[in-house]
Amino acid sequence: MSKDVLIVVDMQVGLLDGLPKHDLAGVIQRINALANMVRQKGGLVVWIRHCGKAGDGFERGSKGWAFLPELVREPGDVVVEKTLNDAFASTVLHDTLQRHAPDRLLIAGWATDSCVDSTVRSAISRDYDVVIVSDGHTLSDRPHLDAPTIIRHHNWVWSDLLTNRSTRLTTTSELLAENQ
């Protein structure tokens, strides 16, 4: 059985501003199911919290900075704060993962085309085995593309990135089934 770390990117109240996020309730439910699975198997859940600039929707201590209340967080989970798109850039994430020595990283969260994408690519460049939860990330429609198209596109791109280890795309139900 692999020792997993689930990285959940920026699932904070501030994401509720602006256009609706694609299948947000479903993404939250799937993240909660994966977090429960990872904890039951002795893994670690890492919540990435974006800390915005003064006056933006993610300013430290503001309403938008809080995690979505529907997320099931546990005392043994870890919170890593970031100020850039990439959850590894200028944070303690890599050091935290090195101490935990995961067999693989499961990555989910918001926003597919920004912070999730940056975190996936950074994890791959740091030689982690990465599992992207294909139905575990979300965003809103963009001016030039709708959210489902962007999600499909990123899932396709991530499935073929060059890596020294492995990159795998899979659904939440497939991960839950293989860990039964």
Q: Cβ(102)–Cβ(51) under 8 Å? A: no
Distances (CA, A) of 64 to 53, 108, 110, 147: 12, 19, 14, 22
Instruction: Note the pLDDT of residue 2.
Output: 64
Statement: residue 54 has pLDDT above 70: yes
Task: Please state the rounded mean pLDDT for residues 27-35.
Answer: 98
Give residue 68's domain range: 4-178
How far from chain centre, in Å, is Cα 37? 15
**Which position has the token pair 């200028």?**
90
Over residues 147-170, the pLDDT tens digits come to 999 999 999 999 999 999 999 999
Q: Work out the average pLDDT over 99-109.
A: 97
Q: What is the CATH number of the domain that holds 128?
A: 3.40.50.850
Q: What pLDDT was estimated at residue 162?
A: 92
Phi and psi torsions of 113, nearest 5° = -90, 5
Q: What does the pLDDT look like over 111-143, one tens digit per residue?
A: 999 999 999 999 999 999 999 999 999 999 999
Quick: pLDDT tens for 6-21: 999 999 999 999 999 9
Q: Are the beta carbons of 87 and 130 closer than 8 angstroms?
A: no
pLDDT at position 179: 84
Give the per-residue pLDDT at 180. 81
* Distance (Å, whole) CA 168 – CA 103: 13
pLDDT at 101: 95
Q: How far is CA 154 from CA 20, 126, 145, 157, in A?
A: 19, 20, 12, 5
Q: Structurally, how many domains does the chain consist of?
A: 1
pTM to 2 decimals?
0.97
Give the Cα separation of 179 and 150 in Å (integer).
29
Q: Where are the alpha helices (DSSP H) in 19-165?
A: 24-40, 93-100, 117-125, 147-158
Token pair for 156: 């396709």
Looking at the DSSP assignment, which residues form a beta bridge with residue 80? 48
